[in-house]
């Protein structure tokens, strides 16, 4: 355990898998987060003292420098969906990313991996994409040999994609949807983590677009989810102007309540993002260039979406009981 890696946002959805994989390979892992007391779940990923959460404010030079010092590699997993407040798009995804790269280069860090997002180079409408692009540009200006990963929507046990829509399937007689014609190419979180590990180990650099083996419209993925959770209901694909009006009202509610009532459904910026397909471009470097075979969602989602079925884990027993002759 001679090598040290600092993972900014290492307790989050993607970061925790990267931390776990690197710990298994013998790295000492420093998990830099805003609230170390809420990141204690990463400690069991390695031997005693091998994985340690530490405080860091990515908006502060001194704070980033303190956790970067002595590191052989750095991974930046920090992102946000907050348009306002101190930890907004610009502060975290643009300025924060550039700060990490600048300080990493100044301290002689050998390898840097940055988690971006698929489609940000094509999305000219959303602030999320604009700041992600700015973050990528800042990183490459400060650390030209960095590895930048652009994953599509990421799935896994703690994801906010399949879990979110599966939870929605339990509500009401119909399934409301916006942006049903937008294409997505979901990618497994472990595959993204394995790609990041290659960057940490210095085996790859450059920009990679990461997508799974299947591409469907959002409506197509909803059908997959409904089949997986054993629910049948009509899907209503609302026009985009309805989504804009709903998002405007929800954003206004959050503003008027000073953030007490948060908009966790859909924001105006997310509506803009739905206008751009979330798929890998032709000619881009992908999993294939890293020697990684992407995992299909159907091979994984059953292991955690069963809890959204009408009878949960007992659905299979109920279905088999229908064939009994009593």
Residue among 29, 82, 89 nearest 59 (CA): 89
Tell me the pairing of strands 183-184 and 216-217: antiparallel
- The three-class DSSP label of residue 213 is coil
At residue 320, does pLDDT exceed 80? Answer: no
Other C-beta atoms within 10 Å of 284: how many? Answer: 15
Q: Which pTM was predicted?
A: 0.92
Tokens (6 digits) for 220: 């197509």
Locate the DSSP E strands across the chain.
4-8, 28-33, 51-55, 73-76, 111-115, 147-151, 154-155, 175-178, 183-184, 187-188, 206-210, 216-217, 235-238
Rg of the chain, C-alpha, whole Å: 21
Cα distance between residue 57 and residue 309, in whole Å: 40
**Secondary structure letter of residue 171 according to DSSP:** S
Contacts of 114 (CB under 8 A, 6+ apart): 75, 76, 97, 100, 101, 135, 136, 139, 146, 147, 148, 149
pLDDT value at residue 2: 82
Give me the mean pLDDT over the 216-245 stretch.
90
Cα distance between residue 200 and residue 235, in whole Å: 43
Q: For residues 183 and 215, is the Cβ–Cβ distance under 8 A?
A: yes
At residue 34, does pLDDT exceed 80? Answer: yes
Contacts of 168 (CB under 8 A, 6+ apart): 175, 176
Band the pLDDT of 204: cuts 50, 70, 90: very high
Whole-angstrom CA distances from 271 to 125, 126, 239 are: 10, 8, 11
Q: For residues 248 and 105, is the Cβ–Cβ distance under 8 A?
A: no
Cα distance between residue 164 and residue 182, in whole Å: 17
**Secondary structure letter of residue 107 according to DSSP:** T
Q: What is the mean pLDDT of the chain?
A: 92
Give me the mean pLDDT over the 170-183 stretch.
90
**Secondary structure letter of residue 296 according to DSSP:** P
Return the percentage of the chain with pLDDT > 70, whole number.
97
Tens digits of residue pLDDT in 276-316: 999 999 999 999 999 999 999 999 999 999 999 998 888 77
**Secondary structure letter of residue 281 according to DSSP:** P
């Amino acid at each position: 355990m001679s090598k040290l890696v600092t993972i900014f946002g290492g307790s989050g959805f993607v970061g925790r898998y990267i931390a776990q994989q690197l710990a298994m390979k013998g790295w000492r892992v420093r998990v830099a987060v805003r609230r170390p007391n809420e990141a204690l779940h990463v400690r069991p990923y390695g031997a005693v003292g091998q994985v340690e959460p530490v405080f860091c404010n990515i908006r502060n030079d001194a704070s980033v420098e303190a956790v970067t010092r002595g590191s052989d590699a750095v991974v930046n997993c920090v992102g946000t969906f907050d348009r306002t407040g101190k930890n907004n798009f610009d502060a975290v995804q643009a300025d924060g990313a550039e700060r990490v790269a600048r300080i990493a280069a100044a301290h002689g860090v050998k390898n840097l991996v940055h988690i971006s997002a698929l489609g940000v180079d094509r999305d000219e409408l959303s602030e999320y994409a604009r700041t992600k692009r700015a973050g990528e540009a800042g990183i490459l200006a400060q650390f030209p040999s960095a590895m930048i990963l652009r994953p599509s929507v990421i799935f896994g046990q703690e994801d906010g994609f399949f879990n979110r829509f599966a939870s929605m399937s339990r509500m009401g007689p119909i399934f409301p949807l916006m942006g049903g014609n937008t294409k997505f190419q979901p990618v497994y979180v472990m595959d993204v983590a394995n790609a990041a590990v290659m960057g940490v180990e210095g085996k790859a650099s450059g920009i990679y677009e990461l997508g799974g083996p299947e591409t469907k419209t959002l409506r197509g993925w909803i059908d997959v989810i409904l089949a997986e959770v054993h629910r049948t209901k009509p899907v209503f694909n609302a026009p985009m102007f309805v989504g804009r009006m709903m998002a405007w009202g929800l954003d206004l509610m959050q503003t008027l309540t000073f953030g007490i009532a948060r908009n966790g459904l859909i924001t105006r910026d997310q509506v803009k993002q739905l206008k751009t397909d979330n798929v890998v471009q032709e000619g881009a470097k992908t999993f294939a260039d890293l020697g990684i075979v992407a995992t299909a969602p159907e091979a994984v989602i059953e292991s955690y979406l069963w809890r959204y079925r009408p009878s949960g884990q007992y659905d299979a027993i109920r279905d088999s009981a229908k064939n009994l002759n009593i």
